[in-house]
Amino acid sequence: MIGHKSLSLKLFSLAIFSIPFEGIAHEHDAFAHHQSNRYGYMIKDKNGLDITDVVLSERSPYCSSYVGNYFASADDYNLNQKNSSYMTIKTNTKDCIIISNGIPNHTYDDAEMGAFPNKVVPQYQIYVVSKSPKRLAKPIPLSLRMDNAIMLNGVKVDLLAAGCYGVGDGRIGCFDPNAKWRYNPAYEESEFIMDTHHAHSQPDGTYHYHASPNALFKDNSSVESPVIGFAADGYPIYGSYIENNGEIFEVKSSYQLKKGNRPNTPDSPGGKYTGEFVDDFQYVPGSGDLDECNGMEYDGSYGYYVTKEFPYIINCFKAEPNKSFMKKPPIRRS
């Protein structure tokens, strides 16, 4: 295990990376400036703060508290290759703009099952995070068309698998948002190849998390967890630990594994509820600390929390997600 550094991401007045920012003014045109590995090479100045294997400590819920330039060194374990991570965070009157090449700040691709089917490659990612999210009367569900969050190491969160039971080979091709029996990639016995950070790469080489990154915060009750990222709706994402009456404890999800067996129907996988599928879980208000979106009000502000159990990070949006989190269309190859 590589030793971790402890660091609070604070405000920095550093030279911005030498990358183009055309299109940021049109931040609601998602496809005008979203990620593409064709531009990954453009983010390559080691100019700022080294966050290699960093353990964060800042708890400010405001994205503007993290403005600065950051870089890191990361090892692709199974391919025995080194890569560089770059991220910058800017701000304007309404939003924070997070630009990264999508490479993590920690060792990745270290699954015992072997290397990822798709090699991780640098991207050009720009996400816009609202400084002041407005709570909605009704939560917005997660969508296959939208990334869920961006972590403070520049890696995106994309929780939903595009695989469902009975659709194709089960691993990809299930794009109907209403389809049942969607696979849970974070299930311990899942056939999805995931590294020790609950992450893998998409066909275009984009590295992304499906559950706790197992990084960025201390996974023990020694200290309250920091902010480790921001959801697409602008609310912060914290680690798993908070303080209550002088005691630090791990927050719990309010989703519970259903009891008994799945329906015995032609379109059902049958068998016991094990957690292999998203539909194996149900929200039971009051059974844990968090709401249906895996968040809560704490210390005067709302935020989402990492949990060891489903839904792991976030399960819906409490505010309107920014359109910059819409996924890019596929790159057409001639």
CA–CA gap between residue 43 and residue 126 (Å, rounded): 12
Closest CA relative to residue 225, chosen from 235, 209, 237, 208:
237
Task: Determine the pLDDT at residue 192.
Answer: 86
3 state SS for 200-241:
EECCCCCEEECCCCCCECCCCCCCCCCEEEEECCCCEEECCE
CB 241 within 8 A of CB 140: no
Query: Using one digit for the tens of pLDDT, what is the confidence trace for 21-75?
Result: 333 333 333 333 344 444 443 455 567 999 999 999 999 999 999 999 999 999 9
Query: Using one digit for the tens of pLDDT, what is the confidence trace for 129-165?
Result: 999 999 999 999 999 999 999 999 999 999 999 999 9
Position 187 pLDDT exceeds 90: yes
Task: Determine the pLDDT at residue 45.
Answer: 58
Looking at residues 167-177, what average pLDDT do you find? 80
> Tokens 């809560």 appear where?
296
Query: Using one digit for the tens of pLDDT, what is the confidence trace for 93-114?
Result: 999 999 999 999 999 999 988 8
CB atoms within 10 A of CB 44: 15
Query: Using one digit for the tens of pLDDT, what is the confidence trace for 277-320?
Result: 999 999 999 999 999 999 999 999 999 999 999 999 999 999 99
User: What angle (nearest 5°) sits at the alpha carbon of residue 233, between those of residues 255 and 177?
Assistant: 60
CA–CA gap between residue 322 and residue 29 (Å, rounded): 10
CB atoms within 10 A of CB 24: 17
Task: Determine the pLDDT at residue 55.
Answer: 95
Looking at residues 4-30, what average pLDDT do you find? 39
Q: pLDDT-based confidence at 328, cuts 50/70/90?
A: confident
Task: Determine the pLDDT at residue 157.
Answer: 98
Position 84 pLDDT exceeds 70: yes
| pTM, to two decimals | 0.87
Domain coordinates of the chain in residue numbers? 5-13+26-325
CB 143 within 8 A of CB 178: no
- What percentage of the chain carries pLDDT values higher than 70? 84
CA atoms within 13 A on the CB side of 119: 9
Position 1 pLDDT exceeds 60: no
* Distances from the Cα of 321 to the Cα of 152, 231, 318, angstroms: 18, 8, 9
Give me the chain's average pLDDT, please: 87
CB 35 within 8 A of CB 42: no
* For residue 263, cis peptide bond before it (omega within 30 degrees of 0): no
Residue 122: both structure tokens together: 């640098």
